[in-house]
Amino acid sequence: MGGKFYDAPIDEYLPQNGNRGYRVSRYELELGYRVAGNRLTGRAVLTAVTTEVRDRFALDLSQAMRVTKVFVNGVKAARYVHQHNKLVVTPQQKIPAGGVLTFAVQYGGTPRPVRGPWGEVGWEELTEGALVASQPNGAASWFPCDDHPSSKASYRIAITTDSPYYALANGALVRKQTKASQTTWVYEQPEPMAGYLATIQIGHYRRHRIGPAHAAVPMDAVVPTRLRAAFEHDFARQPRMMELFIERFGPYPFAGYTVVVTDDELEIPIEAQGISIFGANHCDGRRSAERLVAHELAHQWFGNSVTIRQWRDIWLHEGFACYAEWLWSEESGGPGADRMARAARHNLARQPQDIVVGDPGPARMFDDRVYKRGALALHALRLELGDRAFFALLREWTTRYRHSSVITEEFTDLAGHYTTLPLRPLWDSWLHSAPLPQLPPLSGVQGAR
């Protein structure tokens, strides 16, 4: 073989990511991490089904990880080559389409973030501990995977690390065991999850419950002791935020929600499935990051449960999460969503009109204009439909596509069922054209403050 493993790209925005020929249904990761030397060892078992007959299969895995053994369906692989962040595996025998395919990969190394147009993403060493922030393509920095948002699977993550440290991963803690100076934490994430939303958080943390004990959704904080008092103030309104979003967006899609605050400062907060990660700088005792608290919580519905199938549709994550900030402002005594929207439009009008929200291009998919214009598209839709139909649409969207992968056309088609008026002009102007449209006048919508 020798050279690169070529396949037609799954996604033109990240042509190197994602793989053909199989669909993963489950990951089981057994990880060991030494904080002092930033050393990671792992054994990953991927359970998949083949979608076609192939001589070989590829997995995404950073070159920072050294592979030592690969088995396919319990048998040593005939061959494997690890180049260009792809682990290409040749089974001993061909597997029929629709057949069971399991990869067992042993590996280790010094994990480091993946560099790309959006900075560094993936496994990141902290002053004392580690965090994982993988959007959009950092999952391969710490485990072999099919690293694309359309590839969702259940996970079991076991992480063994030095005992003074708290280790968190997605899902429910099902086992914790200490032997000598090491503690193993085992988490089970049953709902399907995209690889970029899988996370490990390690630090000198303590866990405590947020909000009333009888709350419908258990909410926890994992924070350093020194930040607890500021956290109690800054995140005090999160239970009310959860109530509002359940009312507006439908049932919370996971078993619980955990907020992590690292001891280090972070440039921006990060979402993971069932978890949001904030830096010490977001916990200042003044609630200065509260809009971001709302933004990250909203991602549990929009992004983590309902996940885009292709990165060009990133507005379906970020536009909704940005709009949730405005809904929270409206609810919590700040400016109403309409006022927030018109202020955002005023600011955008002073910026270049050269971005198409529905297809911004890979270099600009995290441009703030995608976030704000995506939110404005939703507000324009709310003005068109009225509150009752708009929020009914959002609830049907999150219910119909719960734990699924979506594209923009599925949302625009569903919205069409909530009005007799044609919505094509709205979508064309807000999602598919560069010039910034005007917002319609306010009518029949709450939150006009």
In angstroms, the CA 120 to CA 108 distance is 20
In angstroms, the CA 118 to CA 135 distance is 9
Task: Dihedral sign for Cα 46, 201, 287, 246, please.
Answer: positive
Per-residue pLDDT at 448? 43
Per-residue pLDDT at 447? 46
Give mean pLDDT in consecutive 10-residue pieces for the chain, a chain of 449 residues: 65 96 98 97 98 97 98 97 98 97 98 92 97 97 98 98 97 97 98 98 97 91 97 97 98 98 96 98 95 98 98 98 98 97 98 97 96 98 98 98 98 98 98 97 59
Per-residue pLDDT at 444? 53
Per-residue pLDDT at 3? 45
Quick check: helix, strand or coil at residue 200?
strand
Per-residue pLDDT at 303? 98
Element housing 332 (H / E): none
Element housing 254 (H / E): none
In angstroms, the CA 267 to CA 78 distance is 45
201 to each of 45, 134, 155, 222, how far by Cα in Å?
21, 12, 16, 10
Phi and psi (nearest 5°) for 244?
-60, -45
Phi and psi (nearest 5°) for 446?
-75, 175
What are the chain's domains?
A: 22-117+137-195 (2.60.40.1730), 206-300 (3.30.2010.30), 308-431 (1.10.390.10)
This prediction's pTM: 0.96
Phi and psi (nearest 5°) for 221?
-120, 140
Per-residue pLDDT at 449? 39
Q: Which two tokens stand for residue 404?
A: 């699924």
Q: Which two tokens stand for residue 244?
A: 């509002």
Per-residue pLDDT at 250? 98
Q: Which two tokens stand for residue 111?
A: 């994990």
**Interior angle at CA 203, CA 197 and CA 205, nearest 5:** 100
Q: Cite the beta strand spans of 198-338 per DSSP E.
A: 200-203, 206-210, 219-223, 257-261, 270-272, 275-278, 307-308
